Every structure is written in C-alpha cells, then in structure tokens.
Structure 1
Amino acid sequence: MQKQQIKQSLQIGFTYIGTVVGAGFASGQEILQFFTVYGEWSYLGILISVLLFAWVGGKMLLLGAKLKANSYRELNAYLFGERLALWIDLFMLVMLFGVTVAMLAGVGALFDENFQLPFELGVLVTMAATYFTIMRGMQGILAANTIIVPVMMTLVCFIFLKTAWTTGMRTSTVIPQPSGSWLTSAISYAAFNLGLASSVLVPLGNEIKDRKTLVLGGCVGSVGLGIMLLGANFALTTHFPTVLNYQVPMAFLISTSGALLQTIFVLVLWGEIFSTLIANVYGLGSQLIAPYPAEKGPLLIVLILTSAFFVSQIGFTKIVTYLYPIFGYLSFLLMTLLLWPHNVQKRS
C-alpha cells in the first residue's frame, strides 16, 4: 500500500476509536458493567465485540462509499426503505442529540470537580472547540482524533502495564454473572456503539472511497478498541470488587501514580468526551443541514450546540434512562440488517 493509503487507514481507525469511546469508556464504567462483571467470560465477550466492530464497521464504511452517502440517512433508506427510514432517522436524531447533551454535561462536571472551574465555562469552552473542529468538516474530525486517540491508547496501556507489574499478572476472583448473559452483553455493547458510530463511519466511507483503505481502517479501529478494552478490563478485574465502589474506576486505578498522571488522566477523559461529542454533532449536522443551502451549516451547528447547552443545565439522567434502551434495540436491528445477505438488504 502507498504511504497515503496507510496514513488514511490510520486516520479512519483513530476516528473509529474516538467515535466509540466516550465518558463511559474513559471512566471505566462501560467496561466494568458490560464485561468485567462476567469474570473470565469477559475476555471472550471482548473478542465477540471486536469481531462485530470489524465486520459491521467495515460494512458501514464500504456502504458509505458505495451509496455516496453524506449522512447515515442514505444508509437507513438503503436498509429500511424510504418510508420506515424517516422514523429511524427521527430516533437517531433524538439519540444523537441526547448523547450530545450527556457529553456536554459530563464536560461541565469534569471542569467543576477536577479544576474547580464553573460548570458553564467547561461546557462553553468545549462547545467552541467542537464548533471550530466541525467547521473543518471530516478533515477536522480526522485531525482531532489523530491526536487524541494515540494519547488515550498510551494511557490505557500504561495502566495495564502498571497493574501487571504490581500484581504479577494475578487477578482478583470475580464471581461472574450468569454465564449466558456475557454474550448478550457483548453484542449489546457492540450494537449500541455501532449505531452511534454510523453517524461518522458512513460519510467517512464516502469521503475516502478507496476499498482497501476503508477495510484496513476498519480493522485498525477494531483492533485498537480491542487492545484498549482488554487492557482496561484486566486492570479492573485485578481490583475487583473494589472498583465497584467508584463512579470513575479508571481514576481509582491511576490514583496512586502521582498528581501529574492524574492530571493527564483528566485531560484524556476530556479528550475522549470531546471525540465522541464532535462525532455526534457532526452526525446531527450532516442530517439536518442536507435540506438547506451549505451556507446555513454554521448556523445550524450553533443552534445544535446552543440547544444542547441549555438542556445540559437541567440534567439528563431520566432521558438517558429511557432512550438508551430504545436506541440499543434500534442499533441491534441496524446491525442485523447489515449482517444480512446483500440481496435482502436492498429495500429502497
């Protein structure tokens, strides 16, 4: 492969990773609840999720190129047909907006709790960074993730190596949940995150177009996610069940590493939230801007961020509680249709 293809593959992979990870991943809560609680089965669950990330994520990228899709709207129409796709689009818009609100609220809390800065300041600074990144289009998202994701991976690898060194690769005994549940949990984790990732992977496929580059990029992203999941899961398993007492288990794992590394962790946590935020806002923007002239784009992005800012002030727990399961079912349906034989997929 040429150097340009390799560079683009890495950019795709990093963007894939940056879209999937977020506050839940960075804090360790997602990994703990979806994988660690299943003990030894957690590693098999991670393998299943990684295979789905590679298979389904690769299909999204390739279909984005094939359909010349500027947003996930074209993919939904292809899979569900024009009439049903309208309802699917509505659900996805609501969910992307909901996760955007959650990410902004998380950033505000991060600034408040760790830097003793006003909640609103953290949100506004992140909104400004999001706006200027998205105004650069897909290239802005690729560039941001090319910086953020390697730092995230380095920190997770550090936590893994530090844990392995201090424990001699010994893990605590985890009394697993019912053995059959680990598979459902692994598939649910992959489906939910692939549903969110479609907002970026589909137009990214259209942006790059080259099949080999897209396939390699999807593999890079999946393997990277797998490495991060395995490293974090091992560290959490080692300190189980103590980690169940912490809202941010990863912060507990790094709490003995000195003030500098704790500060770096907080900045990485912000980066992970930011990478998910720009993906969600880009997905919302690409869908809402399509019917309007291009010059309306900046105004619509400002309206999306401003609306999310005001909603984030009143909290989002109840909305997430009710919408996340619905979006999980929708994402599972989307993943199933993507895995279905090609001649059945084409419905529009």
Structure 2
Amino acid sequence: MFKAGMKWIFLIIGTMIGAGYASGRELWQFFGAESGLAIGLFTILFSICCYSILIISFQKKTTQYLPVLKVLVGKRFAHLYDAMIVIYLFSTTVIMLAGSGVTVEAFQYPYWYGIILIVVPLILVFIWDIDGILSINSFILPLLLVGLISVLISFILKEDLTLLFSIDKQRNWMAAFTFTSLNILPLIAVIGAIGNQIKAKNEAVFASIGSGAILGFISYIYNNSLVQIADDILVYEIPLFAILKNYPYAMFLFMSVLLWLAIFTTAVSGTLGLVSRIRDKINAPLWLIVLVLVLSMIPLTKFGFSTLIEYLYPLYGLLNLYILATLLLYPLINRYKTS
C-alpha cells in the first residue's frame, strides 16, 4: 500500500505544484497576510476532495474523467464541466509553457528558448504513455519537495520568522474554499485517468491524507515567507526569486531548475488529462496528439505568465465552488447510500 500510495501522492502533488504554485505567484494571489487559518482549512478540504475523487475513480475503474463527473454532478451538468475541464487544462498548460519561458528569461536568455525547452520533452514523455509519466513524477517530485522545503526553512531561520499565528487575525479564511476549488478540475482530470490502476481503497486514504498534509505544510511556510517580502513581490514576476535575491547564485540556479521541473510535471499532468479525454475519439499515438495540442498552445503564451494567473485562476476558483461542495459531501452521501 505504501509504495502505491506514494505513487498517487506524487501524481497529485505533481498536478498541484506547477508554475503558479512553485513560483509563489498562485499562493500570493489567494492567501498573503492573515491566512494561517485559511491554509489549515485548505489542507482539510483538499484531503477530502482527493479522497472523493480517488474513491470514485477506483470504484468506476476509470481511464478518463467523464465517469467521475457524472457521479458528482449528474449527466446533465457533466458535459458542462467536461467543457470547463478541457478549457481549464488547455489554458493552465499554456500557463506552464509561459512559466518555462519566464524561468529561462531570468538567466538573460530569450523567452522562446524556455518554450522550446519544455515543449520537446513534453512531447517525448508521452511516447511511454501513463507508465512513463508516473515514473517521471516519482523521480522528480522528491527532489522538488526536498529542495523547496529546504530553501523555505533556510529563509525562515535566516530571517528568524515565527510560524505561529493569532487566531483573531484571520480575516482571509474564505480563501481556503476558492483556492481548493481552483485545483479541483485538474485533480479530477488526472486522477480520473488512472482509476483502473488503483488496487485498493487504502491507497486512496493514504494518498489523500498524505498529499493534503504535504501541500498544507509547504503552503503554510511558503506563504509565511512571502508575507515578509511583500514589497519585493511587486517587482518580481516570480516571487520565489524575491526570496532568493540574497542567496548565492548557485542556489538561485538550483531553485530555478527545480521551478522548471515543477512547471514540467504540471504541464505533463495537464496534458495527460486532455489526451486521456480525447484518445478514444482519435486513432493516433499519444505523442502525436500531444504534438498537435502543444503547437496550438504556443501562440497563447504571449499573454504572459503573471497576467494569465491573475485573471484565470480566480475565475476558475469561483466557477468550481459547486463541484467543491459535491466532493466534500460525497463521503457522507456515499456512506448513507451504502449503510
């Protein structure tokens, strides 16, 4: 159970920690000051949502996400959310491509070098289908998590920051709901593609609690660090670079590589969700479908990384509140039906 559960934890976290999250831009967009309680609530909400999606996918033995949507919102609304997921995955993958361009641009190289750098391996990884994607996540995610946590803890110790918060100064607690709902659609899309590979219910329990706890911890210490450099964030398109500005160049280089890997894993997860939905309708190799999709995304990256996050993420967060409610209620409803 442990090995299988860790595989799903890495897949879930790989879906979550992309350009927006790893760079700090997404966290700052939703949280910021007075958000300790909000992040605690997010941890609980996220774990419940992951459990619901994993259980439905396991029970339905899914290979794509539409059956999961039908259970959650019914056949009538499933097609509406199906369209939303396709648009969401497409647009967020565009954001990942743009994020790669911004990361490479930080080293004084042209923006388009970063686009090419992510597009080529993104196409190549789909030659090995889903097994290849799971293997890449299992290799990259531990490096990413250790690196990100190490830098954040180092910054907290260096600045002598406190991790405690006052419960009476938590006016931003509602952000937990919009932040969780923002990340629901990619989770449904990606987990829905691997339901037939989940062997036991225990894997779902382990993966949901584990991924929620890890993301909650990282979100809390990351947001705490960003609050301390709020003025600098206005200058940096990628807030993580504001944290690293006084670190040696080698650390800046190391974290830039990790940031790019985070961007890559989320681009892979988003693309997996898209191709799993359309692969039954198109008789072509996965890599060829991905090639066509990615080529259509490239022109849209010109809108810019932070601009795309600023406008698209809050919009999706609001639109997904209904499906968030169904996921939170599903364990109770399911237990009532089976009792």
- How high is the TM-score relative to the length of structure 1? 0.86
TM-score in terms of structure 2 length: 0.88
**Conservation of the 8 A alpha-carbon contact between 2:12 and 2:211:** yes
Q: Sort the Cα spacing of 1:320 and 1:94 in 2 relative to 1 into closer, same or farther, 3 A.
A: farther
Task: Return the alpha-carbon distance in structure 2 between the equivalents of residues 259 and 232 of structure 1.
Answer: 21
Cα 1:169–1:132 shift into 2, 3 Å: same
Q: How far apart are the structure 2 equivalents of 1:173 and 1:213? A: 33
Tell me if the contact between 2:89 and 2:274 (Cα under 8 Å) persists in the aligned partners. Answer: yes
Q: CA deviation at 1:269?
A: 1.0
SS at match of 1:7: helix
Instruction: Give the match for residue 14 of structure 1.
Output: 10
Moved more, 329-338 or 231-240: 231-240
Q: Does 1:221 align with 2:217?
A: no
Unmatched 5+ stretches in structure 1: none
Once the two structures are TM-superposed, the CA of residue 119 in structure 1 deviates from its matched residue by: 2.7
Structure 1 residue 206, shift from structure 2 partner? 2.6
Residue 224 of structure 1 aligns with an amino acid whose one-letter code is I
Letter in structure 2 aligned against 1:226: G
Letter in 2 for 1:33: Q
Q: Which moved more, 1:280-289 or 1:324-333?
A: 324-333
Other-structure match for 1:36: 32
Mapped partners of 2:305, 2:39: distance in 1: 29
The Cα of 1:266 is off from its aligned counterpart by: 0.7
**What are the residue-to-residue correspondences of 1:159-308 with 2, within 5 Å?**
159-170=151-162, 179-180=170-171, 182-293=172-283, 295-308=284-297
> Which residue is equivalent to 1:334?
323
After the TM superposition, which of the residue ranges 203-212 and 278-287 deviates more from structure 2?
Answer: 203-212
| Residues 1:162 and 1:344: Cα distance change in structure 2 (over 3 Å) | closer
Report how far residue 296 of structure 1 moved. Answer: 4.5
Letter in 2 for 1:188: T
Cα pair 1:92 1:327 within 8 Å, conserved: no
Q: CA-to-partner distance for each residue in 1:215-260, whole Å, 9 max, x for gaps?
A: 2122221111112112212322344454454332221212222011
Matched residues in 1 for 2:294 and 2:263: separation?
A: 15
Retained in 2: the 8 A contact 1:79–1:345? no
**2:321 maps to amino acid:** F
Q: Cα gap change, 1:319/1:167 in structure 2, threshold over 3 Å: closer, same or farther? A: closer
> Does the Cα contact within 8 Å between 1:103 and 1:277 map onto a contact in 2?
yes
User: Could you tell me how far apart the structure 1 residues matched to 2:253 and 2:290 are?
Assistant: 31
Alpha-carbon distance in structure 2 between the residues aligned to 1:297 and 1:77: 25
Among all aligned residue pairs of Structure 1 and Structure 2, give the percentage whose two residues are the same amino acid: 25
Q: String of CA shifts for 1:146-167, please: whole Å, max 9, x gaps.
A: 2222222222322233233223
8 Å contact from structure 1 (residues 159, 231) kept in 2 = no
Contact 2:163 2:221 in 1 (8 A): no
Structure 2: 5+ residue stretches without partners: none
Is the 2:32–2:227 contact (alpha carbons within 8 Å) kept by the matching residues of 1?
A: yes
Partner SS, residue 173 of structure 2: helix
Paired with 2:115 and 2:321, the residues of 1 have a C-alpha distance of 31
Name the structure 2 match of 1:56.
49
Equivalent AA in structure 1 for residue 88 of structure 2: M
1:77-133 CA distances to partner (integer Å, 9 max, x unpaired)? Answer: 22223232222211211111111111112212222332x333333212311211222
- In terms of mean alpha carbon deviation, does 308-317 or 157-166 score higher? 308-317
Q: Deviations over 1:52-101 (max 9, x none)?
A: 11111111011111112111111112222323222221121111111111
Give distance in 2, aligned partners of 1:202 and 1:80.
15
> Contact 1:171–1:239 at 8 Å: present in 2 too?
no
Looking at structure 1, the residues matched to 205 and 236 of structure 2 have their Cα atoms a distance apart, in angstroms, of 38
CA drift at 1:170 = 4.3
Q: Given that residues 57 and 218 in structure 1 are in contact (C-alpha distance below 8 angstroms), is that contact kept between their aligned partners in structure 2?
A: yes
Q: Which amino acid aligns with 1:214?
A: A
Provide the residue aligned with 1:137 in structure 2: 129
Give matches, 1:318-329, under 5 Å: 323-329=312-318
Deviation sequence 1:176-211 (CA, Å, 0-9, x none): 99954x222111111111222211122233322321
SS at match of 2:320: helix
Aligned-pair CA distance for 1:27: 1.6
Per-residue Cα deviation, 1:258-317 (whole angstroms, up to 9, x for no partner): 011100111111011111111111111111112233x44332221111111233246577
> Partner amino acid for 1:27?
S
Aligned-pair RMSD on alpha carbons? 2.8
Where in structure 2 are the equivalents of 1:108-127 lying within 5 Å? 108-114=101-107, 116-127=108-119
